[in-house]
Amino acid sequence: MFLTRFKLISLLISSLITLQSVLSLAEPDVLQRHQLEPLKRGTSYVNMVYFVNWGIYQRDYHPQDLPVSRLTHILYAFMNVQVDGTVYTEDTYADLEKHYAGDSWAEGNDNAYGCIKQLYLLKKANRKLKVMLSIGGWTWSTNFAAVAGSTTTRATFAKSAVTLMKDWGFDGVDIDWEYPANEDDATNMVLLLKAVRDELDSYAAEFASGHRFQLSIAAPAGFEHYSKLHLADLAQILDYINLMAYDYAGSWSTHTGHNANLYANDEEPDATPFNTDGAVRAYLDAGVPAEKLVLGMPIYGRSFQGTAGLGEPFVDVGFGSWEKGVWDYSALPKDGAVPGFDPAAHAHYSYDATTRELISFDPPEAVQQKVAYLKQLGLGGAMFWEASADKSGSASLLETSFQSLEVLDNTDNWLHYPNSRYRNIASGMEEGAS
């Protein structure tokens, strides 16, 4: 009883922290307490975000809504994988068929429309913007182990992935395998990625001399998963390893916890079963170059209902924006909820004592703190899941990251795909071919 009362008092105290005091926690003195040594780097940073093709439906979020001037990469999610290794789209309407303003109904079916055309137009207008073909995800990782397990299926995977990339006018391939389960999977994952790397290089040698198409993965932040991976081998093949530093607590938990805390809180172990700093250091210690490791952040919060506060049991996760227990950042904080901050974990949340609901989410201050952290360690930049959940203006997490990173990667995208199966992409969207 005393512990619960103490936690409630702590919660009320934390809610009185002013915005200025919260922002001050991002300053180097706090980072230095965690023994971060500043790393001088002469390069720039990436600012990546996932765009989901199903977002065009209920979410009513389209490629034209993306804040492309603030981004270096769009990760277009997700493609599925057949058991024979073929990479394919599950939604041709969203990808290729939906007509937007200005699209002609009089043209034949040899043009790309839908999100693919719009993304190409965004690339053409923003030459530093790269678009990646993202394959897999939680739902469509089922066949990865089998496909990665043989030379034949690996070759089919690589060939079909790069074919989609060039047909759609993209800049690379992103693989989200959740998750390799054992030593065989880990070994085969390296071989699968090597096959894709070779296929990308082969395509570039023939059609894009001197250009490097990019290859990345979404990587786990949980020890159970990343400890199985051959991280040093992966780093030799990949351009970026995008750390999914979120989903640390949720419906599967026994206590309320932070969704994406930077550090552990030894005083509240139930609230911080995972932490980002531990995962980052494990990747670096395993031989991943800092500039290839990209820090992922959530544009959503996870909720817990029927709870007395942080690190306490809960009854349910409640409703969400689109699924139970998950709220778009744009809907947060809820009316009546009081902001809270865990200074030890470097984590933000809100709590409503009336409804007894706690929601863990990252506001702009959290992004500022995490960007300060990744800069201190010389990491490659930031990645976000996913674009449709963001706010606009100064409250936008993508905007906050852009402003905090300061200097973005300025390498050019690629626009020339003469052998695309789609006439308008093969012609570079020239007049009369769109």
Question: Which residues are marked as active site?
Answer: 178
| Distance of alpha carbon 287 from alpha carbon 383, whole angstroms | 21
Most distant CA pair in the chain, distance:
74
DSSP 344-400: TTTEEEEEETTTTEEEE---HHHHHHHHHHHHHHT--EEEEE-GGG---GGG-HHHH
Strand, coil or helix: 64: helix
Burial of 9 (0-12, 13-18, 19+ CB in 10 A): exposed
Strand, coil or helix: 127: coil
| Distance of alpha carbon 402 from alpha carbon 72, whole angstroms | 10
The answer to whether the beta carbons of residues 39 and 376 sit under 8 Å apart is yes
| Bridge partner list, 214 | 172
- HSE of 199, CA atoms in CB hemisphere, 13 A: 22
Q: Write down the number of H helices and E strands in the chain.
A: 14, 14
Q: How far is CA 19 from the centre of its chain?
A: 27
- HSE of 344, CA atoms in CB hemisphere, 13 A: 10
Residue for token digits 């795909």? 417
| Distance of alpha carbon 103 from alpha carbon 340, whole angstroms | 48
| Distance of alpha carbon 270 from alpha carbon 233, whole angstroms | 34
